[in-house]
Amino acid sequence: MTEQAATTGAGAEPAATARGAQTRQLILDTALRMFKEHGYAATSMRAVAREAGVAVGNAYYYFPSKEHLILRFYDDVQAEHRAAAAPVLAGSTEFADRLAGVLHAGVDTNAPYHAFATSFFKVAADPDSPLSPFSAESAGARQASIALFAEALDGSTIKVDAQLREELPELMWLAYMGVILFWVHDRSPGQRKTYLLIDRAAPLLARLITMSRLPVLRPLIREALDLLRHLRHRT
């Protein structure tokens, strides 16, 4: 039986056959190891294929470029993030606990790639790169992450201003991007400063969100949300 060609975008279905799925995973695992050892820019698809023991054409068959490797990595990490966050989401209805749990799970999931993250950040920080977390190409992983923060919010007992609630999952995701940026630059042992940031910030954010319902703050919330929508759709 021949291997069915895999689709090439982020979030693509795995190859139809077991052999195809194993080959694809082998290529991805090899690439990630080489990115960590040599850096993203210094690692070529040809080198990945050679290290994985597959033909160069076979490597390109599953991943037409290095960018496709990373986009698949984004999807896999997001799936792992959701699985890691599931216990805390199932065990608490306190918003601060749920938010901290999701943020902890995100950092824990990315922890094996911390050494690689520093060099890779230079590529992902380029606003024109398909590997930017804000790019159209990475939309699948981004929307899955936003959905996870929506789940953290919806399963909690926190009272939120109605208009803010609509925008809050994306705002939480943006906060998570800030945490990840801090984590990339965190050189403390085990990135403990990042965990301290999460543990101190989550209760603070919960209190601020609760305060959004105060009549005196509602006009400010409306103005801030209007600015956000304006910036989001401005060309």
Task: Evaluate if residue 230 carries a pLDDT over 50.
Answer: yes
How large is the greatest C-alpha to C-alpha distance in the chain, in angstroms? 68
Whole-number Å distance between alpha carbons of 50 and 59: 9
Query: pLDDT grade, residue 215 (50/70/90)?
Result: confident
**Which string of DSSP letters, residue by residue, matches 11-46?**
TPPPPSSHHHHHHHHHHHHHHHHHHHHH-STT--HH
**How confident is the prediction for the chain on average, in pLDDT?**
89
Whole-number Å distance between alpha carbons of 149 and 102: 7
**H/E stretch holding 213:** none
Query: Is 198 in contact with 104 (CB distance < 8 Å)?
Result: yes
Reported pTM: 0.85
Q: Cα–chain-centroid distance for residue 88?
A: 18
pLDDT in tens, 12-57: 444 457 888 899 999 999 999 998 888 888 899 999 999 999 999 9
| Sole residue written with tokens 């209760």 | 203
Query: Is 167 in contact with 175 (CB distance < 8 Å)?
Result: no
Task: Evaluate if residue 6 carries a pLDDT over 50.
Answer: no
pLDDT in tens, 117-169: 887 888 888 999 999 999 999 999 999 999 999 999 999 999 998 889 999 99
Whole-number Å distance between alpha carbons of 130 and 189: 32
Query: Is 186 in contact with 116 (CB distance < 8 Å)?
Result: no
Domains parsed from the chain with CATH numbers: 18-62 (1.10.10.60), 73-233 (1.10.357.10)
Query: Is 149 in contact with 173 (CB distance < 8 Å)?
Result: yes
Task: Let me know the angle formed at the C-alpha of 169 by 224 and 132, rounded to the nearest 5 degrees.
Answer: 90
Report the Cα–Cα distance between both ends of the chain, in Å, rounded. Answer: 49
